[in-house]
Amino acid sequence: MVKRLLALFTYFIVLCFCNARAQDAVSTTEQLIADIFEQYTAESEDEVDYETFYEDLMYCSQNPINLNRTSREELQRLPFLSDNQIESIQAHIYQYGQLNTIYELQLIEGLDMTDIRRMIPFVIIGETTKDYKKIYWHDLLSHGKNELFMRFDKGIETKEGYQFLPEEDENTATLNSKTYLGNSIYHSLKYRFHFKDRVQVGFTAEKDAGEQFFGKMHLGYDFYSSYVQLNDFGKFKTIVVGDFKANFGIGLVLRPDFGMGKSSYVLNVTPRNSGLKKYGSTDENNFFRGAGATVRLGKFEISSFYSSKMIDGDTANGTFSSLYKTGLHRTYSEFEKKHTITQQVIGGNLTLTLLNFQIGLTAVHTKLDNNLIPEKSVYNYFYFTGNEQTTAGIFYRWRWQKINMFGETAVADNGGVATLNGFSFSPISQVSLVALQRHYSPEFDTFYATSFSETSRINNENGIYLGVEIRPFKKWKIATYADSYQFPWPKYGIDAPSIGNDYLLQIDFAAQRNIAMFWRLKYEKKQINLSDLQNVIPIVVPNEKASLRYQLNYSFGNFNFKNVLDGNLNRQANANWTYGVIMSQDVSYAFENIPLKIDFRYQFFDAVNYENRLYSYEKDVLNAFSIPMYFGLGSRYYLNFKYELNNRLSLWFKVAQTAYADDREQLSSGNETIVGNKKTDVRLLLKWDF
């Protein structure tokens, strides 16, 4: 073990220091968005919808925020800005008048050059007036922007599910449930149209690998989605028809979208109130289908919406035990679960916004045409049962002096309560802090709550969080948080009430514009079931995990480099510590004479146990985001190309392979089984602007 770690560490040191002195280079907006997303997801194992995150920020880059006439709501679209920074920007413009150049952002309290560089692609300095003139058809046709995306993915090795063609079973007259109905190609088609920030139209179609495109069971794509969104039409702030999302308050009542959580952005802990907005992702679950509108009436905003869509579940005799959320319909048994339940949702929000105070009321009612009856066990004793649910809540934000206070309290119709309250404060420009308290009763179990939590489910949790960000010297930033939480009722994987603590420390150093590095240390201690099959009665024991990450980004001419050393130690109860380590070298090069950019990575990983598994972000084709999980001993490489065929056509291509060196003879399980120790994937995307 020691020799292996020493060899990997020597390799890493050589890569870090054998390069010449770096020169200046500018990151693209797409890469900046990916870097921001990576920071948010680095400490989470939950799947987060990158497509929506990417599209929201790309929309801001195409329709930049005018800082001289912006609102708090607009600035909240930039997830890397804290509440204190947003307040400082607005207070500075209110006190000193409109900005004349982007460089004046350096005068605003709480903003450093790292923050300003992140802001530049998404903001402009302009006049304080806004054009709400009528829109005519010739304006849409002559000035609207159209985009078409076509993407294909293919695994090279043959998986078990594709070994045999589906056959008729003589006994049951159904297709063989152990065989995939379709081919191994993933394909998606997307169309996007937008006119300034006023009109947006989109269409999405997708077929996952293994799903049937032409056949007896299915014809065409497996998933279709479309939307039309209109902004700023008279009294209407927003009108959306088709597929959309509805996010209000801090997420305890209604937020089927990306929610803030624990990350290296230690001050950004609560979701932002983004209201009604279009939905164009390929995620087949977290959206509404119908129509909604938001109306402005003075300082009030009134929103309402209605949704009716078919969702997946294993129904029988008018009941089902759980929702089927994978979106995969590759086998007959998976296809039988498709669109078996009708879900209707009606909801609304009323918000009053004053200069330093905001308060809002949100309510949502959900009805299913089948009864949800989970298979009862101790951990899910309080989970929702039935076919109707109503949830309502009140949220607030209040600024007093330099203190921002916020919170939300929600109640479900079964009496379950959830409340989250906190404040952020900057006593001096170099120091900012946030404190957060949460209480989610075991009985509170709703369909659409997404907010700050240790787990993805908003129920059965109490906790206190404290985050601090310090800028002690120029070019240095220290971010840290401490979170203490408890689960008053047993939860999945823990058969008794339990407690836990998380701590994170990250130190960032921006030596120059083209050289940046950070050190991240995280320690968590929580309770889990003792994994000993000899125990008849479950025993809850402490589990400790310590993680360390060092990352160095630098550039040299047209080259960009990234070196990463990431490792962890884990132990259960008083057992021996086990380890996981990963080391990677990234190289990107943009050619000067041809419109081609290449990204390459090579990395080693060694994770002794599954508890030591590691996640590593990697670059991908446009609109995609990859965070593979690594367990065992092996290596991985990928090669990513972006080539601009002309001013309208762009092409992305990626090939990636993981090779294991720990004597395993097959990968994965079930229909996903691959014979051998290698897994290779290729991905192609074509973008057409017209």
- For residue 150, the surrounding DSSP H or E stretch is strand 145-155
Strands (E) across 454-514 are located at: 461-470, 476-487, 498-512
The closest alpha carbon to 277, from 255, 297, 259, 308, belongs to 255
- Could you tell me the two tokens for 168? 């008729």
pLDDT at residue 45 in the model? 60
Q: Is the pLDDT of residue 158 over 90?
A: yes
| Closest CA relative to residue 367, chosen from 349, 391, 383 | 391
The more confidently predicted of residues 462 and 68 is 462
Report which residue type is found at 422. Answer: G
Amino acid at 602: Y
Average pLDDT, stretch 437-445? 96
Please say if the pLDDT value at position 8 is more than 80.
no
What is residue 131's predicted lDDT score, i.e. its pLDDT?
57
Query: End-to-end alpha-carbon separation of the chain, Å?
Result: 56
Q: Which residues contact 234 (CB under 8 A, 6 or more apart)?
A: none
Contact (Cβ atoms closer than 8 angstroms) between residue 524 and residue 505: no
Does the pLDDT at position 171 exceed 70?
no
Q: How far apart are CA 622 and CA 620, in angstroms?
A: 7
User: Which DSSP letter does residue 534 get?
Assistant: T
In this predicted structure, the answer to whether residue 21 has a pLDDT above a threshold of 50 is no
- Structure-token match 């479309």, residue found: 226
Contact 655, 680 (CB under 8 A): yes
d(CA 323, CA 319): 11
Residue type, 655: V
CB 152 within 8 A of CB 183: no
On the question of pLDDT at 175 being above 70, the answer is no
Q: What mean pLDDT comes out for the span 298-326? A: 94
Strand partners of residue 310: 342
Lowest mean pLDDT among 116-125, 436-445, 498-507, 578-587: 116-125
CA-angle at 627, arms to 625 and 633, nearest 5°: 150
Give residue-wise pLDDT tens across range 625-684: 788 899 999 999 999 999 999 989 999 999 999 999 998 899 998 899 999 999 999 999
Question: b/e for 257-295, b at 16 or more Cβ within 10 A?
Answer: bbbbbbbbbbbbbbbbbbbbbbbbbbbbebbbbbbbbbe
C-alpha distances out from residue 294 to 129, 134, 306, 351, 644, Å: 22, 19, 13, 10, 40
Pick the residue with more confidence: 442 or 32? 442
Task: Check whether 226 has a pLDDT greater than 70.
Answer: yes
pLDDT digits (tens, 9 = 90+) for 99-114: 888 888 888 888 877 7
Confidence of residue 23 (pLDDT cuts 50, 70, 90): very low
Q: Is 93 helix (H, G, I), strand (E, B) or coil?
A: helix
Q: Is the pLDDT of residue 130 over 60?
A: no
According to DSSP, residue 4 is labeled: H
Task: Please state whether beta strands 223-233 and 629-630 pair in parallel, antiparallel, or not at all (unpaired).
Answer: unpaired
Mean pLDDT score, 156-175: 68
Looking at residue 616, its amino acid is: S
Please tell me the distance from the alpha carbon of residue 183 to that of residue 161, in angstroms, as a whole number: 10
Distance from C-alpha of 314 to C-alpha of 325, rounded to nearest angstrom: 11
Looking up tokens 């920007």 gives: 89
Q: Quick one: pLDDT band at residue 166, thresholds 50, 70, 90? A: low
446 alpha carbon, distance to own chain's centre: 20
Looking at residue 177, its pLDDT comes to 60
Strand pairing partners for 242?
A: 227, 290
Q: Are strands 185-195 and 341-353 parallel, antiparallel or unpaired?
A: unpaired
Q: How many CB atoms lie within 10 A of CB 62?
A: 14
Q: 118, 152 in Cβ contact below 8 A?
A: no
Mean of pLDDT values over 377-388: 92
Q: Is the pLDDT of residue 313 over 70?
A: yes
Rounded distance between C-alpha atoms, residue 18 and residue 14, angstroms: 6
- Rounded average pLDDT over 5-26: 38
Sort 248 into a burial class: Cβ within 10 Å, 0-12 / 13-18 / 19+.
buried
Beta bridge partners of 296: 301
Q: Which has more pLDDT, 190 or 79?
A: 190
Length of the chain measured in residues: 690
Of the pLDDT bands very low, low, confident and very high (cuts 50, 70, 90), residue 72 is confident
pLDDT attached to residue 48: 66
- Closest by Cα among 536, 537, 540, 538 to 527: 540
Pairing of strands 236-247, 288-297: antiparallel
Predicted local distance difference test score (pLDDT) of residue 28: 67
Cα-trace Rg, the chain: 26
> How does strand 319-323 pair with strand 357-372?
parallel
Contacting residues for 443 by C-beta, under 8 A, at least 6 apart: 382, 412, 414, 415, 416, 417, 459
What was the pLDDT predicted at 241? Answer: 98
Q: Which pLDDT does position 18 carry in this prediction?
A: 39
**421 Cβ partners below 8 Å, 6+ apart?**
405, 406, 407, 408, 436, 437
**Which residue, chain included where needed, has tokens 């003075």?**
298
Model pLDDT, residue 256 = 82
Q: How confident is the model at residue 520 (pLDDT cuts 50, 70, 90)?
A: very high
Structure confidence by residue, pLDDT tens digits, 239-249: 999 999 999 99
What pLDDT, on a 0 to 100 scale, did the predictor assign at position 129? Answer: 56
Banded model confidence at residue 482, pLDDT cuts 50, 70, 90? very high
**Cβ–Cβ contacts within 10 Å for residue 7, how many?**
11
Q: Which of 231, 216, 242, 492 is nearest to 335 (CA)?
A: 216
381 within 8 A of 339, measured Cβ to Cβ: no
Place of tokens 């021996």: 576
CA trace torsion 106, 108, 113, 119 (10° rounding): -110
Q: What is the pLDDT of residue 159?
A: 93
Whole-number Å distance between alpha carbons of 654 and 658: 14
CB 175 within 8 A of CB 136: no
Q: How far apart are CA 502 and CA 482, in angstroms?
A: 6
What average pLDDT does this structure show over 322-345? Answer: 93
